Chain A
Amino acid sequence: MQPDLERQLIRKCKAGDARFYEPLVRAYEPAGLRLAVAMMGNNEDAEDALQEAFIKTFDTLHRFDLQKPFGPWFFQILRNQCRDLLRSRKAKFKVEALDEKLDHRPADRERGPERSHERSAAREMLWQGLERIGTEHREILVLKELEGFRYTEIAQILEIPEGTVASRLYHARHALRDALVEMNPEFPQ
């Protein structure tokens, strides 16, 4: 979404007109759901977290600085919502319905069922690796690798100094690699 249009919509929402919130919700929903699924591990909990995050975002829009980008601010609220939900329900990140969740890339199908199966197994192993590492490691990996945020944005979302993002990523990637090696000793060490 264009930053100017986004600012105009937020200005209208700040004035109390909820109709202008719909384009924002629809624009941020797919990426928000990806982050939530990756943090919660299943669609149902992810949708609950996403819904609550959008409501909290609307309720706190009066505090939002229009000079700043909306995305990182929303993802910060969503990330906190996921963490709260995991804590309050004593829920555990649990990967469910992998086949439904994963997008089977056309290239895999073109290369035949064997290749597709290999890819699917690799993806499943990666999800299980994510399940084994802690929330802190998982969330930074998801923000970087699935959502493609820059370090400055990750720092804002996670509320940490920008200088520590690289170090956090290094430890997270190491933890994931260790988990993958544990599951599959053939994984490169």
Chain B
Amino acid sequence: MPPVSSDDLMRYLDGEMAPEERAKVDAELAASTELRRELAIFRALKSDFQQLSFHPAQYRESVWDRVNQRVTRPIGWILLAMGATAWTSYGAYVLATAPTNPWEKLATGAIAIGILTLLASVIWERYREWQNDPYRDVHR
């Protein structure tokens, strides 16, 4: 029978072996002090790990609120953008087809375009600032 390899020893230790394979390793263990010693060291390490178990949920808040905010926010933005686009398009159509003085149309259109341009520039500026913010990953 070939000697027990290090991989076999790990599979034996972790209960990942079929019963017939285990029986072969048991036989080798009975015959080899060195193998028993090595297994005992790994078993001791495994046992030490059992003492490391801890329950972090007992003294901290769930991350769900933060996760929820992040996963639902894009849906809000998409709905807002869709609504804004629909209303802007409808407003532009109503303005263009309304039987009013062309100067009134031009003035109203200029105000609307001005507001949209300012809004876009503010959003762009904030985005650039956010990209260069060294603290953007800091949540607390």
| A→B interface (CB under 8 Å) | 16, 18, 21-22, 25-26, 29-30, 33-34, 37, 43-44, 47-48, 50-51, 54-55, 58-59, 89, 100-103, 105, 119, 122-123, 126-127, 141, 144-146, 150-151, 166-167, 169-170, 173, 176-177, 180, 188-189
Contact = CB atoms under 8 A, between A and B. Distances in A.
B41 A177 contact: yes
Contact of A55 (B16, B41, B48, B71): B71
Contact of B44 (A50, A146, A188): A188
B35 to A, nearest CB: 13
Nearest to A50: B63
Interface stretch (B3-11, B19-27, B82-90, B125-133): B3-11
Q: Is the interface of A mostly helix, strand, loop or mixed?
A: helix
A163 to B, nearest CB: 8
A100 B58 CA distance: 11
Contacts of B94: none
Contacts of B137: 48, 89
B46 interface: yes
Given A26-B64, A54-B67, A58-B71, A173 B45 contact: yes
B140 interface: yes
Given A33-B57, A126-B51, 5 more contacts: A26-B64, A51-B63, A55-B70, A123-B48, A166-B6
Interface string B60-81: 1011101110111001000000
Nearest to A38: B52
Given A22-B64, A58-B71, A122 B7 contact: no
B52 A25 contact: no
A188 to B, nearest CB: 5
Contacts of B60: 33, 43, 47
A18 B68 CA distance: 7
Contact of A144 (B14, B41, B56): B14
Contact of A170 (B10, B50, B55, B59): B10
B103 interface: no
Residue of A21, A150, A169 most packed against chain B (CB within 10 A): A169
Contacts of A145: 46, 49-50, 52
A167 B49 CA distance: 19
For the complex of A and B, 10 pairs with smallest distance between CB atoms: A145-B49, A166-B7, A103-B54, A166-B10, A170-B6, A54-B67, A30-B57, A51-B63, A33-B56, A18-B71
A170 B44 contact: no
B53 interface: yes
Nearest to B51: A123
Nearest to A30: B57
B94 to A, nearest CB: 33
